[in-house]
Amino acid sequence: MGKQEEDFDEIKEAVFLYSKMLLRIAFTYLKSMHDAEDVVQDVFLVYLTKNIKFDSENYRRNWLVRCTVNKCKDLLKASWYKSWIPVPEEIEDSIPEESEVIQMVLKLERKYRIPMYLHYCEGYSLKEIAELLNKKVSSVGTLLSRGRNKLKVMIEEEKTDGKGEKR
């Protein structure tokens, strides 16, 4: 097997292993499946064209997540994006296979949504999330705590239909 074939096999393996995770991370940021798919394609295109070699699988996974986060942030900063992309009214329509709790997590502000998704859905530690998001570990812990509290309030409101009456 030639060098190019080995490189291509590495990228195919990464697509197989991480595309769903990266797609969910991008969707968590962007709340648009189409934009999330574009971001993930861009991430794998960068991986393919830069011919990056990693010391371990963990480094590769973290690089892919970090690259996805950065591409999402870049997209959200773009003036053209802000001017024409509406946030979907019903998140449920976009990802019907997800649980109600994840639906509620997606309704949180981005600063809480991303750490909560990475920690609870992808299993990243506080330290790993801090490195991926360029934040202090204590800041990530605070975001998770506040996000949990906001989620708890949302769940309580859902249980009582917003009027203090149980459904």
At 99-117, the pLDDT tens digits run: 676 777 778 888 888 888 8
Structural domain including 82 reads 1-87
Q: Are residues 81 and 103 in the same domain?
A: no
Residue 120 included in any domain: yes
Residue 50 included in any domain: yes
Residue type, 34: H
Q: Are residues 14 and 33 in the same domain?
A: yes
- pLDDT tens figures, 2-41: 556 666 788 888 889 999 999 999 998 888 888 899 999 9
- pLDDT tens figures, 35-69: 899 999 999 999 988 878 888 999 999 999 999 99
List of residues 6+ apart from 142 with CB closer than 8 A: none
Residue 131 included in any domain: yes
Specify the number of domains making up the chain.
Answer: 2
Bigger pLDDT: 95 vs 81: 81
Residue (of 79, 91, 100, 116) closest to 36 by Cα position: 91
Q: Are residues 83 and 104 in the same domain?
A: no
CATH number for the domain spanning 10: value is 1.10.1740
Q: Are residues 73 and 123 in the same domain?
A: no
Residue 92 included in any domain: no
Residue 93 included in any domain: no
- Asked if the model's pLDDT at residue 83 lies above 60, the reply is no
Bigger pLDDT: 140 vs 80: 140
